[in-house]
Amino acid sequence: MAELILHHYEGSPFAHKIRAILGFKGLAWRSVGIPMIMPKPDLMPLSGGYRRTPVLQAGADIYHDTQLIAAELERRHPAPTLYPNGGEGMAHALTFWADGALFGTVTGAAFAHIADRMPPAFFADRAAMRGQEPAPPEKIMAAAPRLVAELNRTLHLVEGWLGDGRPFLLGDAAGLVDFSIFHPFWMLNRAGRKNAALLEPFSNIRGWLDRIAAFGTGSPTELDAQEALDIARSADPADPGESAPDDAGPALGQTVSVLAADKVPEAVVGEVVAVRRNEVVVRRADDRVGSVHNHFPRSGYIVRPA
């Protein structure tokens, strides 16, 4: 089976969700460091323009979005399961809350404390990603009291959730719900003393964060970006599997663009080679990697004829 290659950077919370899942499942993986901001010249041939972090590669198959990356890791390595107690639906529903509202609340408060210490290029890059003008650090920081109050409400909610002494959010076994809710707090904890201090009053959360951290991040070994491209080039994409087309989805063989619904301008264009309830696979070619299959979730993505 092709090696798992994660394209990521150390400080990325979404990448840490996947690193923690790799640890939970006890997997060996190859680690390719990518820049935190654009340009990402060694990622683009694989991703077809998708710029977000992380990206998972297995040979000539490229998986986008932690929603689909987690599902793919579960498919390849089902034990231990990310969906204990049959909680797959609950895990994905809570992941939408965690990746959206919770992540926004935590990053809002965290950046309000450290905006003056962040490189201006970071805010310029993220604003450009959303087609906006960067906000000045003073403006970001002025919102701190409101954003911290909002975060505190969320922290009380999770603290109470763990209040009956359960080790993990859905009971005795850890699962996707834990990793999805963990990664924003992991980021908060390492974003300076003022941010880490926000977690101090919440002992249930701190104990739970320690239990998740104890899973580690598996066994990574570094891989040069060019080698990752060579691996894709010398591999054939795997059989994309059975399709289950539906009226709302694209047809097999159609050339489509796949765009994140939150309007990050990164449409990936390719020919549909598989479509299922929550996955679309497109084939594209690039001089540096040959033919590859890019896998996207359908939830949160707009797939249109190109």
Ligand X SMILES: N[C@@H](CCC(=O)N[C@@H](CS)C(=O)NCC(=O)O)C(=O)O
- Contact residues toward ligand X (CB under 6 A) are 12-14, 51-53, 65-67, 99
Query: Closer CB to ligand X, residue 36 or residue 162?
Result: 36
Q: How far is the CB of 172 from ligand X (least distance, A)?
A: 27
The distance of closest approach from Cβ of residue 14 to ligand X in the complex, given in angstroms and rounded to an integer, is 4
Which residue, chain included where needed, has tokens 């965690």?
98
- Pick from 277, 283, 256: which is nearest to 267 by CA? 256
Of 243 and 278, which has the nearer Cβ to ligand X? 278
Alpha carbon dihedral 132, 136, 137, 140, in 10-degree steps, equals -60
- Nearer to ligand X by Cβ, of 14 and 83: the residue is 14
User: Closest separation between CB of residue 247 and ligand X, Å?
Assistant: 26
Distances (CA, A) of 280 to 44, 85, 92, 297: 19, 28, 18, 6
Strands 28-33 and 5-8: parallel
**Smallest distance, ligand X to C-beta of residue 161, A:** 22
Contacts of 207 (CB under 8 A, 6+ apart): 162
Nearest distance, CB of residue 9 and ligand X, angstroms:
7
C-alpha–C-alpha distance, residues 51 and 230, integer Å: 20
Nearer to ligand X, 14 or 182 (CB): 14
**Residue closest to ligand X when measured from CB atoms:** 52
Which one, 124 or 251, has the nearer CB to ligand X?
Answer: 124
